[in-house]
Amino acid sequence: MALIVQKFGGTSVGSVERIQNVAQRVKRHRDQGDDVVVVVSAMSGETNRLIGLAKEISDTPSPREMDVLVSTGEQVTIALLCLALQEIGCAARSYTGAQVHILTDSAHSKARIMDIDHARVCADIKAGRVVVVAGFQGVDQHGDITTLGRGGSDTTAVAMAAALDADECQIFTDVDGVYTTDPRVEPQARKLNRITFEEMLEMASLGSKVLQIRAVEFAGKYNVPLRVLSSFEDGGEGTLISLEEDVVEAAKISGIAFNRDEAKLTIRGVPDHPGIAYQILGPIGDANIEVDMIVQNIAHDDTTDFTFTVNRSEYNKALSILEKISADLGAREVVGDDKIIKISLVGVGMRSHAGIASKMFETLSKEGINIQMISTSEIKISVVVDEKYLELGVRSLHDAFDLAEESTA
Amino acid sequence: MALIVQKFGGTSVGSVERIQNVAQRVKRHRDQGDDVVVVVSAMSGETNRLIGLAKEISDTPSPREMDVLVSTGEQVTIALLCLALQEIGCAARSYTGAQVHILTDSAHSKARIMDIDHARVCADIKAGRVVVVAGFQGVDQHGDITTLGRGGSDTTAVAMAAALDADECQIFTDVDGVYTTDPRVEPQARKLNRITFEEMLEMASLGSKVLQIRAVEFAGKYNVPLRVLSSFEDGGEGTLISLEEDVVEAAKISGIAFNRDEAKLTIRGVPDHPGIAYQILGPIGDANIEVDMIVQNIAHDDTTDFTFTVNRSEYNKALSILEKISADLGAREVVGDDKIIKISLVGVGMRSHAGIASKMFETLSKEGINIQMISTSEIKISVVVDEKYLELGVRSLHDAFDLAEESTA
């Protein structure tokens, strides 16, 4: 008999009928003999409806009161799901974040979980009840309601699983698992049976938006086996995300992530002296613009070129800041391009297999795709190319690394 | 500088615009130098929307989960009102029932307030903040969310006022005060400036639905001056409800209440022996039917007639129970009438003024209105008459007791 934490997102509980389906699914699992703790989000659309009400009142609403407001969304879902479970003869009890003492810091709207008091939950499990917990929310040391930010329900589920030492944390989503790449771009994309936490982190942060990054980090830190499953199809195995040593047949490459939201800025002919990177990126950071890739090439003639990418929506803002910096520093010019995309190969096997990078570059070159920037980490290689090459690049790499086939090592 | 608790019901906070109006009103009061604690209900329609969702799932929803569900209604309002207050430069902080430790018993959906921990509220008041508290809800000793039942926000406001030793508890409603009778029935009805707790209790329980009975009881018990005001009109004095000794010019009669929801049942020729009342009303009470007036006349020929009234919606249920009782007891027959109404004269002055009852009966008799039942208490006289006489009865009594004129003693 295992203890399973199951998390259902907003789409999965988006209507009374869907909540009833979730109840059926939870009960089936329960009937197999497992103990189940369920974490749910607000019904889809509800959080936006509440934020809309607040926006009618204020453009700069107090984060404390916003958390009081939006946390009602999950509270509605936990009550309805318990009613649906009880209606089909499955004992259940609901808890808000505050009730189950999901203690967080006081950073409203983006709080971090510090502790969970699981005494009541354990007592309910022992009494044979399904426990339904509101995701996304907690309470700080003053008793104020906090929220973990969008997608925080995943984190709640993982944190509950860690606190309860659960056997598995299952995240039900609208996809049936993690794929080698986006099937809308490459129809040959294959569902992965297993992937490591590290790979998942790279896949998630690079644009395969299946799981919240913080939840994956948390799961990795506490070694909570995480499974992504479809909430609409039954019987699938989904994708299990776990420690590297548990993944017996590690593939060289697990998947290909990409990001369409990138824009590139270059400041040319900057005097090459210490502190130059800070002088350029300081003002960008001060303007709350997040920088993704950064590339600086070796200097010649005492000047250097400095290139970085930002989210496409902040391209114009970044450009005007950079032009001011360029004037201050006496740089030659500022150039930019917001018609670029990033493609990344991800895989823990990369560590022990040479030649992955060269094979990647060769593949792209054969297709006539010019690489504008390169950045690497231990388990990923990212390239920036013209946006028109997205599909061609992803498909040719998917093919070159045989990702459509089940890996054989 | 006074401490005022102000309560706004669902209609007063029924839209973002209305919430903004409430914020303006609270701020004006605050700017006059008073400390203000605000208690609010759910936005009108919201509680019913939530109950509707639950009813789609279950016909017999768990009271615990229903309280988790519907308590979100007020939580949305407190957050929005705080945002609206802050937006106009008025420091404010919201609290749910659980956060301000409105400790209740565990009777979900009809819990009773046992204690309030006002430490945090006092600290906020001291810091110059308006405190906004969710009405209608509390928390039991296990940390479970409870609700006080419909209209419970009035009780929350009075309980907060009592706990904080507030100078006045102001209940904002869609009427501008308590009237001598319903102005829709008697256009001459006059707004009362003052009324005693006892009179208000009789008026409320007899069908003038301005305030929740329990709130008036609570206010009387803790001597919290209670003022009923219009939330849509500004500047009115409303009606102040307070102790009898504070009402200097006590009128003989304060008002005329009536109730259209009555039905009458009589069991005839019951053997007159001890315990007969219990044998009749026991099964009625067991069926959760509330009995209002009870009249038993003296016996003759060792049998008696026993008459009582119930809510009209329970007439048929009560009738069938009574027929079974009649057979068991060997009574002569059961008769009933669901076309009756009750009219009541209310006033503390009645205690010290003889002749009120006879004047009432004389007035009705002059209009040819036959009195079917009479019941009296220290400060009220109620009669049951045919429902067709409602308007005629109320208007003739209103006129006979000069209620349209300001009282001169």
In sequence order, what are the residues at sequence separation of 6 or more whose Cβ sits closer than 8 angstroms to the Cβ of residue A391?
Answer: A185, A186
Does domain A3-173 bear CATH number 3.40.1160.10? yes
Residue A383 pLDDT class (50, 70, 90 cuts): very high
Tell me if A53 and B76 make a contact (CB, 8 A cut-off): yes
The structure tokens 């944190």 sit at: A159
Chain B residue with CA closest to A76: the answer is: B69
**Is residue B114 classed as helix, strand or coil in its secondary structure?**
strand
Please choose, from the candidates B204, B114, B125, B111, the residue with its C-alpha nearest in 3D space to the C-alpha of residue B159.
B114
Lowest average pLDDT, out of A45-59, A86-100, A118-132, B252-266, goes to B252-266
* Predicted confidence (pLDDT) per residue in A206-243, tens digit: 655 678 888 888 899 999 999 999 887 877 899 999 98
Contacts of B50 in chain A (CB under 8 A): 76
DSSP-assigned beta bridge partners for residue A384: A342, A373
More confident residue, A72 or A230: A72
- Min Cα separation B85/chain A (Å): 9
Report the relative pairing of strands A102-104 and A113-116 from DSSP bridges. Answer: antiparallel
Which residues does chain A have within 8 Å of residue B54's beta carbon, measured at their own beta carbons? 79-80, 83
Percent of chain A at pLDDT > 70 equals 96
Chain B partners of A20 at a C-beta cutoff of 8 Å? 57
Q: Shortest Cα distance from A45 to chain B (angstroms)? A: 15
Residues 6+ apart with CB under 8 A from A257: A181, A202, A203, A206, A207, A208, A343, A344, A346, A380
B197-205 and B213-221 are packed helices; what angle lies between their axes, rounded to 10 degrees? 170
Kind of pairing between the strands at A380-386 and B3-8: unpaired
Q: Do the strands B255-259 and B340-346 form a parallel or antiparallel pair, or are they unpaired?
A: antiparallel
The residue that leads in pLDDT, A260 or B407, is: A260
Closest residue in A to B67 (Cα–Cα): A79
A47, A49, A62: best mutation site toward chain B, by most B Cβ within 10 Å? A62
**Which residues does chain A have within 8 Å of residue B134's beta carbon, measured at their own beta carbons?**
none
Highest mean pLDDT, choosing among A72-86, A220-234, A335-349, B370-384: A72-86
Is the pLDDT at A145 greater than 90? The verdict is: yes
CB atoms B68 and A79 under 8 Å? yes
Q: In what order do the strands lie in the sheet with B102-104?
A: B113-116, B102-104, B137-139, B145-147
Please give the pLDDT value at position A251.
63
Question: Phi/psi class of residue A133: alpha, beta or left (left: φ > 0; alpha: ψ in -120 to 50)?
Answer: beta
Q: What is the mean pLDDT of residues A243-248?
A: 66
Which of A211 and B32 is assigned the larger pLDDT?
B32
Residues of B in contact with A50 (CB under 8 A): 76
CB distance B13 to B22 below 8 Å? yes
Q: Which residues of B have a CB under 8 Å from any CB of A?
A: 16, 19-20, 50, 53-54, 56-58, 61-62, 64-66, 68-69, 71-72, 75-76, 78-80, 82-84, 86-87, 93-94, 96, 98-99, 120, 143-145
Task: Give the integer Cα–Cα distance in Å for B192 and A397.
Answer: 84
Burial class of residue A250, CB neighbours in 10 A (0-12, 13-18, 19+): buried
Q: What is the CA radius of gyration of chain B?
A: 23
Alpha-carbon gap: B275 to the closest alpha carbon of chain A (Å):
43
| Pairing between β-strand A333-337 and β-strand A291-296 as defined by DSSP bridges | unpaired
Output the average pLDDT for chain A: 90
Q: Which residue has the higher pLDDT, B249 or A73?
A: A73
Cβ contacts below 8 Å, chain A against chain B, sum to 105
Give the pLDDT confidence of A164-198 residue by residue, as tens digits.
Answer: 999 999 999 888 889 999 888 999 999 999 999 98
pLDDT at B408: 40
Task: Please judge whether A82 and B62 are an interchain contact, meaning their C-beta atoms are less than 8 angstroms apart.
Answer: yes
**pLDDT number for residue B7:** 97
Is the model's pTM score more than 0.90?
A: no
* 8 A C-beta contact, residue A374 and residue A307: no
In percent, how much of chain B has pLDDT > 90? Answer: 67
A262 to chain B, minimum CA–CA distance in Å? 36
Q: Are B140 and B102 in contact (CB under 8 A)?
A: no
* Token reading at A27: 């009960």
Best residue of B17, B19, B62 to probe chain A, by most A CBs closer than 10 Å = B62
- The mean pLDDT value of chain B amounts to 90
* ipTM exceeding 0.90, yes/no: no
CA distances from A27 to A92, A131, B315 (A): 10, 12, 42
pLDDT at B21 over 80: yes
Q: Are the C-beta atoms of residues A297 and A379 closer than 8 Å to each other?
A: no
| pLDDT > 90? residue B81 | yes
What per-residue confidence (pLDDT) applies to A271? 86
Per-residue pLDDT of B102-161, as tens digits, reads 999 999 999 999 999 989 999 999 999 999 999 999 999 999 999 997 678 999 999 999
Query: What sign has the CA pseudo-torsion A244, A348, A231, A215?
Result: positive
pLDDT at B295: 85
Q: Say what the pLDDT of residue B409 is.
A: 36
Q: Is the pLDDT of residue A111 over 80?
A: yes
Confidence of residue B209 (pLDDT cuts 50, 70, 90): low
pLDDT at A408: 40
DSSP B205-265: HTT-TTS-HHHHHHHHHTT--EEEEESSSSS---EEEE-GGG-SS--S--EEEEES-EEEE
Domain residue spans in chain B?
3-173
Residue A66 has pLDDT above 90, yes or no: yes
Q: Tell me how far CA of residue A187 lies from CA of A182, A183, A190, A398, in angstroms.
A: 8, 5, 8, 10
With helix as H, strand as E and coil as C, how does chain A read? CCEEEEEECCCCCCCHHHHHHHHHHHHHHHHCCCEEEEEECCCCCHHHHHHHHHHHHCCCCCHHHHHHHHCHHHHHHHHHHHHHHHHCCCCEEEECCCCCCEEECCCCCCCCEEEECCHHHHHHHHCCCEEEEECCEEECCCCCEEECCCCHHHHHHHHHHHHHCCCEEEEEECCCCCECCCCCCCCCCCECCEEEHHHHHHHHHCCCCCCCHHHHHHHHHHCCCEEEEECCCCCCCCEEEECHHHCCCCCCCCEEEEECCEEEEEEEEEECCCCHHHHHHHHHHHCCCCEEEEEECCCECCEEEEEEEEEHHHHHHHHHHHHHHHHHHCCCEEEEECCEEEEEEECHHHHHCCCHHHHHHHHHHHCCCCCCEEEEECCEEEEEEEHHHHHHHHHHHHHHCCCCCCCCC
Q: Which of A111-120, A211-220, B86-95, B396-405 has the lowest mean pLDDT?
A: A211-220
- State the pLDDT confidence band at A91, using cuts at 50, 70 and 90: very high
